Amino acid sequence: MDDLHSRLADGLGGRYTLERELGRGGMSIVYLAIDHRNQRRVALKVLRPELAQSLGPERFLREIKVAAGLTHPHILPLFDSGVAGGLLFYTMPYVEGETLRHRLIRQRRLPVAEAVTIARDVADALSYAHTQNIVHRDIKPENILLEAGHPVVSDFGIARAISVADASRMTGTGIVVGTVDYMSPEQASGEEVDGRSDIYSLGCVLYEMLIGRTPLPGGTSTGETRSVSQERREIPLEVEYAIEVALAKLPSERFGTATEFAEALGPKDTTASPRRGFLHAARRWAAGAVVLAGLATMGVIVLPRLAAAKLDASLYVVVPFGHRGGAAPALVNGDQCELLLSQAFERWSDVRLADPLRVHDARMRRGEQAMTLDEARRLARDVGAGMLVWGDVSAVGDSIQVTAALYDLRRGGKTVRDYTVRIHKDGKQLEAKFRELADSILLGGVNAERLRPDIIGTDVLAAFYAYAEGRDALARWDLPAAERAFHQALEDDPTYAQANLWLAHTQMWADELPVDFLGGLRSVSRDHRPPAE
């Protein structure tokens, strides 16, 4: 029995009996104890003496009482606190389960749905704590307890006390608050932190649950994080996106709240197809446009103001383009660019566009003046769209030039990609060029040759993207990856003839029995036969 254990046991007297040590960390040691007053087992944490001295007993006890007021199903409550043998301690429920760390030791990678559920529940706890002005500062698997699979976050007591401690006094202890592998860049550099630091730490935890290691082992915050989809293909796109934003180096580029992080992880049913998760079923834009035109004819210009929505990463909004050089070209103006591009997006049945009534309402409230990029971003936020498409149109000789860019509002409005088309003033290629523009915006890295309408062969964007991945895998002669991709394309669009044919080819080359080679060949031949005279 060491001196600290003896001092603590003697100081506790008859209130608590220490049964055994459960674990120790940089700031505290935790014991299993018997609470004789309430006849229950508790986890009793005692602060290391050097940390307790820097905090001061009065400050610690005052602030931990504030933390004791946290009541949330995913936060481990505090029972009691005090001083024993000159040592500061507090007690919590003893959880019979295990920590997330123990779980990850047993099972290096968790099922995607389970990992996302744990992250969402922890984010819910953090969101509540942040509204009470408490930043945890040490979110890691050791501080996430699992009771029958139900996660609860511990150690908010120390977090509250430390959050108001004098930084210079803390520095003198030599104790670093936080754990390097999960520490945000600003926390690692000793800067002031807020809730976005906890979001970064939770992003690290989710990454580890999915991949089996932290994104930057050793806390090398200047390194580059490997995308989760490169390590584990079945991870849904929205989960990959949420992790990427949570792990942004700058706090301003992360989610503003833990709730936003939880929402970005997608719907609670994460068993859906990974590709369908990011691009949901269509909301038809054209029907709304007809209604809007009717309202405008009747003089109904501005709808009753609708409450601002939270940003939806899978929702796109196209806004009126600007006019480079001042006047609008004769062939097509900024408003017509919006309409033509929206119609081009509509060829993809699984791309969601913002409700045109909302877009019109938001625009009318901002006036009829020419739209700037900042105005377009604000309009997108008004309608809750996470993805903004905006650009400009100008006259160039005997043609017009249309440039469109895709902006990610969940990442501070960063440009994802842009594309430019030129259209002859005779207008014969107008619709075709806007289809090219839309497809290039949505499919950025896909080989341009595959964007020809006769090559695409599907109206499901997710299916085409999977098909393109399969063709790329074949180019590398990675037959297993190609087969997975073509299967995914057919899952997204069972009528996708080209995917069916190339799957059959791939299985033949892999010495497997084709699923339906002749059926695939017939369907492709049927789709490409010449029209009847």
Catalytic annotation on 138?
yes
User: In the numeric block, which tokens belong to residue 348?
Assistant: 């993809």
Task: Kindly tell me the number of DSSP H helices and DSSP E strands found in the chain.
Answer: 23, 14
Residue pair 91/194 in contact (Cβ under 8 Å)? The answer is no
Report how far Cα 53 is from the mean position of its chain's Cα atoms.
40
Burial class (CB within 10 angstroms; exposed 0-12, middle 13-18, buried 19+) of 315: buried
Cβ burial of 39 (10 Å; 0-12, 13-18, 19+) is exposed
Contact assessment for residue 419 and residue 344, using Cβ atoms and an 8 Å cutoff:
no
Handedness of CA 178, 184, 190, 193 (dihedral sign): negative
Which three-class secondary structure string do you get for 97-115?
A: CEEHHHHHHHCCCCCHHHH
Q: 135 in helix, strand or coil?
A: coil
Amino acid making up residue 4: L
Helix axes 237-246, 195-211, angle to 10 degrees: 140
Task: Give the residue ranges of DSSP H helices in 139-284.
Answer: 156-163, 167-171, 185-188, 195-211, 228-231, 237-246, 258-264, 274-278
Distance, first Cα to last Cα, the chain: 96
Catalytic residue among 121, 124, 138, 355: 138
**Where on the phi/psi map is residue 162: left (φ > 0), alpha (ψ -120 to 50), or beta?**
alpha
- The three-state (H, E, C) secondary structure of 187-205, written as one string: HHCCCCCCHHHHHHHHHHH
Residue 204 near residue 181 (C-beta atoms within 8 A) = yes
Contact 288, 318 (CB under 8 A): no
Q: Which residues, including other chains, have CB under 8 Å from residue 392's CB and lie 6 or more apart?
A: 321, 322, 323, 324, 334, 402, 403
| Distance from C-alpha of 379 to C-alpha of 387, rounded to nearest angstrom | 11
Catalytic center residues: 138
